[in-house]
A and B are shown apart, each in its own frame.
Chain A
Amino acid sequence: DAKTTQPPSMDCAEGRAANLPCNHSTISGNEYVYWYRQIHSQGPQYIIHGLKNNETNEMASLIITEDRKSSTLILPHATLRDTAVYYCIVGLKLTDKLIFGTGTRLQVFP
């Protein structure tokens, strides 16, 4: 079973920041949080991962709370092409089998 909880859907206006929350209250100390997204009819795409520090790359930022029980993926300037299902996953290493929940369907509108 997935060890994360995400809202089923969210909307965001184009050009605005999209903030996608994830609860992972049972995360253990050596487990990472990582995010993938799946655009319609494509395979999932890796976005970012983190352990306890906030992380940023060219795609997004990941903010992890101090108690590590929740995190937020931030797309700073959402575009229509960011419309996708976003999956938050926890695990010991990225090379483990990924256990996907149902994710958050993000709809970016003009």
Chain B
Amino acid sequence: GAGVSQSPSNKVTEKGKDVELRCDPISGHTALYWYRQRLGQGLEFLIYFQGNSAPDKSGLPSDRFSAERTGESVSTLTIQRTQQEDSAVYLCASSSTGLLKPQHFGDGTRLSIL
């Protein structure tokens, strides 16, 4: 079946612009996660959704970052007034209900801030 889909796959933008990244989770998956991966580093957690509520936003680095989710479907991560340090791959994952259900990842959006 279809996996987690992210768009765009690549985004290049100028410093100061706003960007919106999209994640389509696996159908029926109630949990959705956003992570960030800087070049050569491991993943950093950003935010977790259960349904359309976000019980854990602890990883969002600043108030320039926000995310929302519509029902138990699409999520968007918005970065306002982008900075060069925002350059990274942004990865989305989803999982179904159950404590031992693994997270399934998309291939990410590679964001480059000029």
CB closest residue in chain B, given A34 = B102
**Interface residue tally on A, bucketed by range:** 20 to 34
Q: How far is the CB of B96 from chain A (nearest CB, A)?
A: 9
Assembly CA distance A45 to B42 (angstroms) = 14
Interface residues of B in 18-58 (CB under 8 A from A): 31, 33, 35, 41-45, 48, 56
B16 in contact (CB, < 8 A): no
Q: By DSSP majority rule, is chain A's interface helix, strand, loop, or mixed?
A: loop
Assembly CA distance A32 to B106 (angstroms) = 23
Q: 1/0 per residue A23-48: CB within 8 Å of B? A: 00000000010100000011111100
B61 in contact (CB, < 8 A): no
20 contacts between A and B (CB under 8 A): A41-B107, A43-B91, A44-B91, A45-B105, A46-B102, A46-B104, A87-B42, A93-B99, A94-B101, A95-B31, A95-B98, A95-B99, A95-B100, A97-B56, A98-B33, A98-B45, A98-B103, A99-B45, A100-B43, A103-B42
